[in-house]
Amino acid sequence: MDPDLFLRKVSTLQAGFRGFLVRRQFQSLRAEYEAIVQEIEGDLSTLQWTGGWIPKPVFLPEPGTPRGPKRTLDPLELELTTVNHRMGAGN
C-alpha cells in the first residue's frame, strides 16, 4: 500500500474516533448539567436545548408567568452546585 494513502486512511480513522470521543464528552456534560438543573429546579420542564453542533441550555418561562428574559445558570452557581454534587453534599 502506498505510504501516503495509508497515512490518509489512518488520519481519517483517527479523526472519526476523536469526533466520537468529543460527542460522548458533550453527552456526558449535558447529562451532568441536566442533573444539576433537576436538583435545583426540581424538574426539567423549563429547560430547552437550542443550537446545532454545540447546543446551549435556555430556560423557558414557566406557564402562567409573564415572559421575561430567558435565564441560564450563573457560572458561579453552576460551579458551586457541581462541586457540591460531586462531593455528595445536599443528599
Q: What is the dihedral of CA 26, 57, 91, 86, to 10 degrees?
A: 40
Answer whether residue 86 shows pLDDT above 80: no
Answer whether residue 74 shows pLDDT above 70: no
> In which region does residue 90 sit, left (phi positive, over 0), alpha (psi from -120 to 50) or beta (all else)?
left
Find the helix packing angle between 3-41 and 75-87, rounded to 10°: 90
pLDDT at 42: 86
Find residue 48's DSSP bridge partners: 58
Answer whether residue 88 shows pLDDT above 90: no
The tally of CA atoms less than 13 A away on the side-chain side of residue 41 is 19
pLDDT at 22: 93
**More confidently predicted of 19 and 83:** 19
- Tens-place pLDDT, residues 24-72: 999 999 999 999 999 988 888 888 888 877 888 888 887 766 665 556 6
